[in-house]
Amino acid sequence: MSSTGRSGTDTTPTANGDLNTAQVMILMGSDSDLPRMRQCLTSLEALDVAYDIRVASAHRTPARVLDIIQRAEAAGVQVFICAAGGAAHLAGAVAAHTTLPVIGVPLAVPPLDGVDALYATVQMPPGMPVATVAVGDFGAHNAGLLAAQILAVGDADLRARVKAHREAMRTKVLSKNAKMRAELGLPPEA
Ligand code: C2R
């Protein structure tokens, strides 16, 4: 078995939403954050990383946040991803209660469109790191990949999947380049 609890040869799809098998716990400050955070789910699914996802707010449901952290840690979750917009204290509050890695995704909501969430998430005081990714879709996408890379440190199978994902990206860029040159009537790259 790999460190993820899944065998390297197991090709059954990962069951998500189960705290007992989740490697990554995603917390969102609101269900209104889901449209952005779907990108994160897509990244995790592409790399076959098991996740659970819950709405929990450091402001609105502080006791629930603590309860989730404690139960997730006990169940074997290894990375937290926290997404919030506005006065985004969720990632920092989670970091205060765990020594597991916390990835913060600042989300854009009006009227400040993510500058508020970015500053609130990235400017953690010394001693309490939150790995802050980009605002919005880019960050949601990258949060899933970064969580996978963290887990891959102790999981050779996952590391191979991360490398294959990078290679697929590289190939895609090359084919886009060839298509663009053809559209412009240029010869294939020398
Ligand atoms: P609603 O759409 O529910 O009014 O939420 C959420 O992440 C969301 O982007 C508006 C925004 O408030 C954010 N929120 C936080 C926190 N809880 C909710 N920043 C928190 O605890 O940091």
Q: What is the pLDDT of residue 10?
A: 56
- Rounded to whole angstroms, the Cα distance separating 164 from 110 reads 38
Angle at 172 (CA atoms; ends 170, 175), nearest 5 degrees? 115
Share of the chain residues as helix, strand and coil, in percent rounded to the nearest 5: 45, 15, 40
Return phi, psi of residue 104, to 5°: -105, 130
Ligand 1 pocket residue status of 135, Cβ below 6 Å: no
Ligand 1 pocket residue status of 107, Cβ below 6 Å: yes
Question: In CATH, what is the architecture of 24-155?
Answer: 3-Layer(aba) Sandwich (3.40)
pTM of the shown model: 0.93
Ligand 1 pocket residue status of 85, Cβ below 6 Å: yes
Q: What is the pLDDT of residue 159?
A: 98
Ligand 1 pocket residue status of 29, Cβ below 6 Å: yes
Task: Give residue 86 CA to ligand 1 midpoint distance, Å.
Answer: 7
Residue-wise pLDDT tens for the chain (190 aa)?
334 444 445 555 569 999 999 999 999 999 999 999 999 999 999 999 999 999 999 999 999 999 999 999 999 999 999 999 999 999 999 999 999 999 999 999 999 999 999 999 999 999 999 999 999 999 999 999 999 999 999 999 999 999 999 999 999 999 999 999 999 999 999 9
Ligand 1 pocket residue status of 101, Cβ below 6 Å: no
